[in-house]
């Protein structure tokens, strides 16, 4: 019998660049920890890339999945189901008056937002606007429309032609966004806190300015909260930090705590852009996924949960800043809440390898940015443990 690594390279298309001998093979998770096939324990500071907001296999999520799977896993969106409506109610009541469309991923949620912005514009803005302005360095997904929306040429290479109707401006440059608005523009779409682009928070002035720009020109403001939403920043949604509400927000990743689900929440006025038949998803919002997401959101809304995220993430950030002072290889610490990055000089992938060796799972973006997206309920002791390991590993690169 060949190893899983050999079988993987035989049967799985190589899109993730896993490396035998380097990339762990995980077989179990509990709380903030993962175990590999040899029984080695790792502290997980990646959290499934911002998905495992309550850690691995949290009891309330396991229970919700077990209970719902014994009752009704899936029927169809032809019919009413309770968990879907209840989840939509909680999302709307905790954001802004609006309506929800459910799908299965972040890219799908953004596809829905792009389609809705265009359709709304066709129906209610004299039919002219279809252009969407997005930010350079952004990331919105891997479908054709969402790679087009993604303002990073490396994701376009080899896949042209891109979808017509997208323009790009530098992130945090309000004037540049303003200068691209024309009579064909229907929406502006950004991540309030850029994730895959290297963890870059929007400035207060920029986010507020975009709201004003959209209001002045009758444009929809779309916030992609796929990575920064669901409590990641210490607020349920990242836009709460800025006090700026979007017209559409998209969610996925943390929403189901590990069960695939995406959502688009649109303000009431814009939601009417979609009519029966305009958009759909076979699996979107099925009872199993929604029961999981309900368990997640109910926990995030529990008294004190998000306050604790704010408190512990500030503590962790302070300690990362201390590591920056101590290790000259660290150039910058940035981010918000538990969406933090440490930019290093040198090969981040080497640091990652040593961290694996010490039982710490971190992520590296673009070779130089160490990214931390721990479970939101990680403890202070676990954070301290991760900091000790990081300190030791960074010392090796002095
Ligand atoms: C901000 C943002 N939007 C969209 C996506 C795409 O999400 P998915 O991989 O679930 O399609 C991602 C994934 O990393 C993301 O970070």
The CATH class, in words, for 72-300 is alpha beta
Q: What is the mean pLDDT of residues 385-390?
A: 98
* Pocket lined around ligand 1, Cβ cut-off 6 Å: 105-107, 110, 139-141, 191, 195-196, 224, 226-227, 252
Q: What are phi and psi of 240, to 5 degrees?
A: -65, -30
Q: What is the model's pLDDT at position 398?
A: 78
- pLDDT band of 125, cuts 50, 70, 90: confident
User: What tens digit of pLDDT does each residue of 324-362 get?
Assistant: 999 999 999 999 999 999 999 989 999 999 999 999 999
pLDDT at 265 over 60: yes
The CATH class, in words, for 4-57+304-395 is alpha beta
User: What tens digit of pLDDT does each residue of 293-322 get?
Assistant: 999 999 999 999 999 999 999 999 999 999
Q: What is the mean pLDDT of residues 240-256?
A: 98
- pLDDT band of 2, cuts 50, 70, 90: confident
Q: What is the model's pLDDT at position 389?
A: 98
**7 vs 346, residue with greater confidence:** 7
3-state class of 174 per DSSP?
Answer: helix
pLDDT at 128 over 80: no
Domain chopping of the chain, boundaries: 4-57+304-395, 72-300
Q: What is the model's pLDDT at position 126?
A: 76
Q: What is the model's pLDDT at position 127?
A: 66
Report the alpha-carbon distance of residue 143 to residue 220 in Å, rounded: 21
Q: What is the mean pLDDT of residues 209-228?
A: 98
Top mutation candidate among 228, 238, 253 for ligand 1, by most atoms within 8 Å of CB = 253
Report the alpha-carbon distance of residue 367 to residue 373 in Å, rounded: 17
> How many A from CA of 107 to the centre of ligand 1?
6
Mean pLDDT lowest for which of 39-43, 127-131, 215-219?
127-131
């Amino acid at each position: 019998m060949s190893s899983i690594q050999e079988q993987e390279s035989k049967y799985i298309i190589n899109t993730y660049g896993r490396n035998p001998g380097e990339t762990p093979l995980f077989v179990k998770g509990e709380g903030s920890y993962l175990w590999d096939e040899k029984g080695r324990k790792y502290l997980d500071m990646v959290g499934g890339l911002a998905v495992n907001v309550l850690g691995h296999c949290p009891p309330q999520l396991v229970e919700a999945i077990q209970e719902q799977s014994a009752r009704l896993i899936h029927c169809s969106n032809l019919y009413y189901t309770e968990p879907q409506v209840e989840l939509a109610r909680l999302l709307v009541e905790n954001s802004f008056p609006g309506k929800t469309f459910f799908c299965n991923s972040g890219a799908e949620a953004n596809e829905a937002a792009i389609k809705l912005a265009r359709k709304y514009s066709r129906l209610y803005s004299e039919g002219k606007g279809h252009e969407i302005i997005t930010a350079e360095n952004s990331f919105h997904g891997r479908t054709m429309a969402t790679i087009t929306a993604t303002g990073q040429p490396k994701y376009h290479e080899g896949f042209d032609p891109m979808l017509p109707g997208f323009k790009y401006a530098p992130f945090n440059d309000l004037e540049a966004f303003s200068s691209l608005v024309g009579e064909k523009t229907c929406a502006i779409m950004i991540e309030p806190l850029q994730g895959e682009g290297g963890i870059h928070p929007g400035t207060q002035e920029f986010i507020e300015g975009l709201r004003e720009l959209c209001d002045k020109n009758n444009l929809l403001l779309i916030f992609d909260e796929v990575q920064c939403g669901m409590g990641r920043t210490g607020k349920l949604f990242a836009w709460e930090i800025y006090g700026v509400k979007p017209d559409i927000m998209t969610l996925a990743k943390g929403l189901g705590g590990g069960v695939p689900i995406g959502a688009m929440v649109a303000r009431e006025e814009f939601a009417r852009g979609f009519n029966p038949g305009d958009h759909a998803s076979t699996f979107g919002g099925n009872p199993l996924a929604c029961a999981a997401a309900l368990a997640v959101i109910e926990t995030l809304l529990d008294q004190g949960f998000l306050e604790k995220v704010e408190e512990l993430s500030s503590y962790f950030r302070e300690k990362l800043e201390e590591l920056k002072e101590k290790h000259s290889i660290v150039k910058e610490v940035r981010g918000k809440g538990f969406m933090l990055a440490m930019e290093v000089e040198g090969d981040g992938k080497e640091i990652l390898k040593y961290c694996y060796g010490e039982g710490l799972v971190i992520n590296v973006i673009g070779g130089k940015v160490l990214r931390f997206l721990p479970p939101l309920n990680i403890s202070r002791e676990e954070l301290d443990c991760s900091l000790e390991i990081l300190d030791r590993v960074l010392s090796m690169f002095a």
